[in-house]
C-alpha cells in the first residue's frame, strides 16, 4: 500500500517508523516531513495546512491510506477533503475535531454529559470576563477558545495576572481569533496523565498511559513548551484509576460525540488530572500527542496500519491492539532559547545507537547529506527497556552521544515517575 502521513515533527516520525514495520506498507510519503524523516519516508514539500495541495498529491499519486496527524489540518477539515476524493484516512473529520478546536465546545460537552472536569465559565466579551476574574479565587486558569500552538492556557496566580491574561487574549488578541471567546476555570491539582486512545466511534481502546514534561527546564521550571520529554507507562495511572477513567470519561466521551452527531474516529487524546475527587479531564486533543507518541508507539506490538485502518472501517472491536509490558523514556533535545527564540542551522550527528534506541527527528533539514537543526524541538531520543529506570538511563546515555552544539535538554525526564514507583 501507498501511505501518506501529513505533518513533519517527532510525532510524525514515530508514526512513520511504526508504519514501516507493517508488511502491508510499500511506500510512505511525508507531507512535508523533515530532513530526518527523509531517511524513512519520501518527503514532499507540501505544508500540513495546504489542504488543496495534499488532496492533489493524494490523487496524483494514488495514495491508498492517509494519516492526518497535526491539529491544524484536522480542525480545517483535511480528512473530509481527502474522503471526498475517495482517500481513506486515519483521523477525525472536521465536525469531530472541534473537540480540540474549541475549548468552549469541549467544556460544554463535558458539562452536558456529566464528564468530570474543572468548573468553568465561558465569556464572549472582555468586560464580563474582567468583572468575573476580579472576584474569582486564585490561582485561576484562563484559556483561549481556539488553537494557539499550545500556548493558549494561562495559569494566573494573582488577580492582576488573571486580568492581564484576559486583556491579552480578548483585547490585544495575542492568539488572534482563537481568543474571541475564553474559558475561565477552576485550578485543579494532582498528577497529570496523558492517555491516547484508538476509537472507531463504537469501541474505544486506550493505549499505554504516559507522562509529559511541559516546562522547559528541570524541576518543572521555565516556560510551558510543546513537551520536553515523556515516559510510559505513567506510574500514577493504576489499573483501578484506568477502570474509573474508562467508565466515567472515555466511553462517555465517545458516546457524547455520537449523540452530538460528531462521531470521532482516530486517536482521541485525554489530558487528565488525578485529583483527590477522582480523575478529571484537563483537555482533549483530536490527535496523537507529541512527545507522548514517541514513547507510546515504540511500545505497540500490534501492526499500526491494521489498527489505524480498523478505526476507519469500524472494526476496532475485532482488531488486536497489544502493547509491550516494557517501559519507554523520550528526552527531547531542543534549540537553546526554545520556546522563546532560537537559531537554526546547527549540525546534528547521532551516536552509535543500540537496538533499543530510536531517534525521532522533529525539526531539521538535510543539506549536502548533513542534518541541520530547524525549529524549537529538534530531536526526540527514545529508549525502551524492561523497567522505567533502565529506559531513563538508556535514553540519557543515548542523548549524551548526540552531537548537537546548540541543543539543550531537561535532565530530569522520568524523575517524578521513578519517585512515584
- Distances in Å between the alpha carbon of 351 and those of 368, 398, 399? 19, 7, 8
CB nearer to ligand GLY: pick between 77 and 150: 150
Q: Tell me how far CA of residue 21 lies from CA of 40, 74, 112, in angstroms.
A: 11, 25, 42
Q: Does 282 bind ligand AMP (CB under 6 A)?
A: yes
Helical ranges in 113-247 per DSSP H: 126-133, 159-166, 239-245
Cell numbers for 53: 495541495
Among ligand GLY, ligand AMP, none, what binds residue 290 when CB lies within 5 to 8 Å by partner kind?
ligand GLY
Nearer to ligand GLY, 191 or 227 (CB): 227
Residue 274 near ligand AMP by CB under 6 A: no
Q: Kindly report the backbone phi and psi dihedral angles of residue 232, in degrees, each rounded to the nearest multiple of 5, phi listed first.
A: -145, 140
Q: Which residue has the cell 476496532?
A: 316
Q: How far is the CB of 349 from ligand GLY (least distance, A)?
A: 27
150 binds ligand AMP (CB under 6 A): yes
Residue pair 101/286 in contact by the 8 Å Cβ criterion: yes
Residue 72 or 212: which CB sits closer to ligand GLY?
212
Tell me which of ligand AMP, ligand GLY, none is bound by residue 12, counting a contact when its beta carbon lies within the kind-specific cut-off of 5 to 8 angstroms.
Answer: none
Per rule CB under 6 A, count of chain residues that contact ligand AMP: 14
Cα separation, 345 vs 342, in Å, equals 10
Binding partner of residue 132 among ligand GLY, ligand AMP, none, CB cut-off 5 to 8 Å per kind: none
Cell, residue 370: 548533513
Q: How far is the CB of 249 from ligand AMP (least distance, A)?
A: 15
Q: Which residues contact 374 (CB under 8 A, 6 or more apart)?
A: 34, 35, 344, 345, 363, 364, 365
Q: Which of 12, 72, 185, 200 binds ligand AMP (CB under 6 A)?
A: 185
Report, in Å, the least distance between residue 8 CB and ligand GLY.
15
Q: At closest approach, how far in Å is the CB of 65 from ligand AMP?
A: 29
Residue with Cβ nearer ligand AMP (18 or 227) = 227
Nearer to ligand AMP, 55 or 69 (CB): 69
In Å, how far are 217, 344, 373, 379, 405 from 335, measured between CA atoms?
Answer: 13, 8, 8, 9, 9
289 binds, options ligand GLY, ligand AMP, none, Cβ within 5 to 8 A by partner type: ligand GLY
Binding partner selected for residue 285 from ligand AMP, ligand GLY, none, CB under the kind-specific 5 to 8 Å limit: ligand GLY
Distances (CA, A) of 4 to 39, 176, 181, 394: 15, 31, 35, 32
Joined grid coordinates for residue 151: 500556548
Residue ranges in 54-93 that form contacts with ligand AMP under rule CB under 6 A: none
Distance CA 342, CA 109 (A): 39
CB of 216 to ligand AMP, least distance (A): 13
Give 78 or 196: the residue with its C-beta nearer to ligand GLY.
196
Q: Which of 14, 25, 31, 141 forms a contact with ligand AMP (CB under 6 A)?
A: 141
How many angstroms separate the CA atoms of 168 and 185, rounded? 17
The contact set with ligand GLY (CB under 6 A) reads 150, 212, 227, 285, 289-290, 292
Output 210 or 319, the one with its CB closest to ligand AMP: 210
Does position 190 interact with ligand AMP (CB under 6 A)? The reply is: no
Could you give the C-alpha distances from 45 to 33, 86, 365, 371, in angstroms and in order?
A: 8, 22, 12, 17
Give which of ligand AMP, ligand GLY, none residue 96 binds (C-beta under 5 to 8 Å, depending on kind): none
Select the binding partner of residue 187 from ligand AMP, ligand GLY, none (C-beta < 5 to 8 A, by kind): ligand AMP
145 binds ligand AMP (CB under 6 A): no
Q: If we measure between CA atoms, which residue out of 295, 283, 274 comes closest to residue 229?
A: 295
Give every CB contact of residue 236 below 8 A, 6+ residues apart in sequence. 191, 193, 211, 274, 417, 420
Our finding on whether 187 is near ligand AMP (CB under 6 A) is yes
Q: Does 214 bind ligand AMP (CB under 6 A)?
A: yes
Chain positions contacting ligand AMP, by CB under 6 A: 118, 141, 150, 153, 155, 185-188, 192, 214, 271, 282-283
Amino acid at each position: 500500500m501507498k501511505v501518506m502521513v501529513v505533518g513533519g515533527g517527532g510525532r510524525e516520525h514515530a508514526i512513520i517508523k511504526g508504519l514501516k514495520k507493517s508488511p502491508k506498507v510499500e511506500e510512505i510519503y511525508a507531507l512535508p516531513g523533515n530532513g530526518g524523516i527523509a531517511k524513512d519516508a519520501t518527503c514532499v514539500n507540501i505544508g500540513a495546512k495546504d489542504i488543496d495541495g495534499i488532496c492533489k498529491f493524494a490523487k496524483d499519486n494514488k495514495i491508498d491510506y492517509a494519516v492526518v496527524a497535526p491539529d491544524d489540518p484536522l480542525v480545517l477539515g483535511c480528512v473530509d477533503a481527502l474522503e471526498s476524493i475517495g482517500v481513506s484516512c486515519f483521523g477525525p473529520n472536521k465536525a469531530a475535531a472541534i473537540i480540540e478546536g474549541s475549548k468552549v465546545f469541549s467544556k460544554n460537552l463535558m458539562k452536558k454529559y456529566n464528564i468530570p472536569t474543572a468548573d468553568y465559565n465561558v465569556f464572549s466579551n472582555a468586560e464580563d470576563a474582567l468583572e468575573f476574574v476580579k472576584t474569582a479565587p486564585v490561582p485561576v486558569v484562563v484559556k483561549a477558545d481556539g488553537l494557539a500552538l499550545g500556548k493558549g492556557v494561562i495559569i494566573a496566580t494573582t488577580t492582576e495576572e488573571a486580568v492581564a491574561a484576559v486583556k491579552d487574549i480578548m483585547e490585544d488578541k495575542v492568539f488572534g481569533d482563537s481568543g474571541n471567546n475564553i474559558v475561565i476555570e477552576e485550578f485543579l491539582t494532582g498528577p497529570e496523565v496523558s492517555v491516547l486512545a484508538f476509537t472507531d466511534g463504537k469501541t474505544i481502546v486506550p493505549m499505554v498511559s504516559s507522562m509529559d514534561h511541559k516546562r522547559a527546564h528541570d524541576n518543572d521550571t521555565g516556560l510551558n513548551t510543546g513537551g520536553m520529554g515523556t515516559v510510559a507507562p505513567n506510574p500514577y495511572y493504576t489499573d483501578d484509576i484506568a477502570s474509573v477513567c474508562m467508565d466515567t470519561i472515555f466511553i462517555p466521551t465517545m458516546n457524547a460525540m455520537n449523540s452530538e452527531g460528531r462521531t470521532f474516529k482516530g486517536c482521541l487524546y485525554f489530558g487528565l488530572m488525578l485529583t483527590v475527587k477522582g480523575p478529571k479531564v484537563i483537555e482533549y486533543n483530536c490527535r496523537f500527542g507529541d512527545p507522548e507518541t514517541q514513547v507510546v508507539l515504540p511500545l505497540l506490538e500490534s501492526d499500526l496500519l491494521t489498527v489505524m485502518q480498523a478505526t476507519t472501517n469500524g472494526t476496532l472491536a475485532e482488531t488486536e491492539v497489544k502493547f509491550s509490558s516494557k517501559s519507554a523514556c523520550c528526552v527531547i533535545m531542543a534549540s537553546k532559547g526554545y520556546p522563546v527564540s532560537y537559531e537554526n542551522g546547527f549540525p546534528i550527528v547521532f551516536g552509535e545507537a543500540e537496538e533499543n534506541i530510536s531517534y525521532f527527528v522533529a525539526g531539521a533539514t538535510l543539506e549536502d547529506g548533513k542534518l541541520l537543526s530547524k525549529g524549537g524541538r529538534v530531536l526526540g531520543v527514545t529508549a525502551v527497556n524492561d523497567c522505567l529506570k533502565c529506559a531513563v538511563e538508556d535514553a540519557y546515555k543515548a542523548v549524551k552521544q548526540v552531537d548537537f552544539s546548540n541543543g539543550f535538554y531537561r535532565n530530569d525526564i522520568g524523575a517524578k515517575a521513578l519517585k512515584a514507583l
